[in-house]
Amino acid sequence: MALLLAVVRLCQSLADSKTDDTQAPQRILALHVHHGLQASADAFAAHCEASCAALQEAIGSAWTLEYKALPVQIELAKGDSVEAEAREVRYRALAQAAQAAGAEVVLLGQHADDQVESVLLALSRGAGVAGLAGMPAAFHRHGMAFARPLLPLEQHVLKDWLQTNRVPWVEDPTNTEQRYTRNRLRHAVLPVLEQHLPGFRTSMARSARLAAQADALLQELAAIDLEQTGNPPHIARLQQLSAERQANVLRHWLKATHGVIGSESQILALLQVLAACTTRGHRIHIKVGNGYVEREGDDLGWKLLQY
């Protein structure tokens, strides 16, 4: 709701300024993904639709604020995470709807508290710099540009602003369920950090930005190394790199080419086998992700695990 109000106010300001160099959008499309995962889902959609109708009435006919609900189906296989699957389905639905409407960018409403939770979750899982970078302020997914303009702002600032403007919002009832790790962090850990380290949100945001810079450099180096080793990587050329660069380029190759993210132990096992690979007959068969890295002549290959 804060994001929606901010976009409406921005467009009003641009329209009123009547400058030639900055054109206000003629149309805003408010997208709501209807997951149907809880009893309150219909109420969420109704609130969003009513809010958009009220804002459209307030701004008049100068430009259009359109509301569109996106019903989605979550299909889970054994062991799948509901949160992860819902997130993937949500981004795909948003991208497809935005592309169909001719939109240039999809704006998301995550804020500074969401970023802190993401960084803490990454720390708890032993993530590298990619995970510690948290949520990027801008990115591309499913062929669409996404941005998070509220990422520097704390949740209480947004709520105070909505209250000042008498704009109601809906609290997701699942936000209080302690069975979710993110909720336990929100209700048990963040208040303690706030008490003892009042500036922790700013510090963590800075750490996330620095981690993002480091990850970008690692990806650039990996792209250079992959060009040198070939795609698929040539074993002999790969062995000429340091172990750290081998690990970096292998992660990059697996993710970029096969959509696979290997664990630390899997990459370490692969490095150990590569170090011992000195003859043409040396066999390589290491599980990485949901498949296996295998030797294919003088190169490495990855094959999906067949059940």
pLDDT tens per residue across span 219-255: 999 999 999 999 999 999 999 999 999 999 999 999 9
pLDDT of residue 21 exceeding 70, the answer is: no
Percent of the chain with pLDDT over 90: 74
pLDDT of residue 285 exceeding 70, the answer is: yes
Give the model's confidence band at 200: pLDDT under 50 very low, under 70 low, under 90 confident, else very high: very high
Give the model's confidence band at 173: pLDDT under 50 very low, under 70 low, under 90 confident, else very high: confident
Q: Supply the pLDDT for residue 60.
A: 78
Percent of the chain with pLDDT over 70: 95
Per-position DSSP letters for 221-270, written without gaps between them: HHHHHHHHHTTTTBHHHHHTS-HHHHHHHHHHHHHHHH-----HHHHHHH
pLDDT digits (tens, 9 = 90+) for 35-81: 887 888 899 999 999 999 999 988 877 788 999 999 998 887 666 67
Q: Supply the pLDDT for residue 79.
A: 65
Q: Supply the pLDDT for residue 178.
A: 81
Average pLDDT over residues 292-307: 90
Q: Supply the pLDDT for residue 152.
A: 92
pLDDT digits (tens, 9 = 90+) for 142-170: 999 999 999 999 999 999 999 999 999 99
Give the model's confidence band at 301: pLDDT under 50 very low, under 70 low, under 90 confident, else very high: very high
Q: Supply the pLDDT for residue 305.
A: 83
Q: Which of 261, 268, 260 is nearest to 286 (CA)?
A: 268
Query: What one-letter code names the amino acid at 290?
Result: N
CA distance 280 to 276: 11
What is the SS3 assignment for 32? strand
Angle (CA) 43-161-52 rounded to 5° is: 40
Q: Supply the pLDDT for residue 106.
A: 97
Q: Supply the pLDDT for residue 5.
A: 95
Q: Supply the pLDDT for residue 15.
A: 75
pTM: 0.86
Mean pLDDT of the chain: 91
Six-digit token string for 289: 């992700």
Contacts of 46 by beta carbon, 8 Å cutoff, 6+ apart: none
pLDDT of residue 26 exceeding 80, the answer is: no
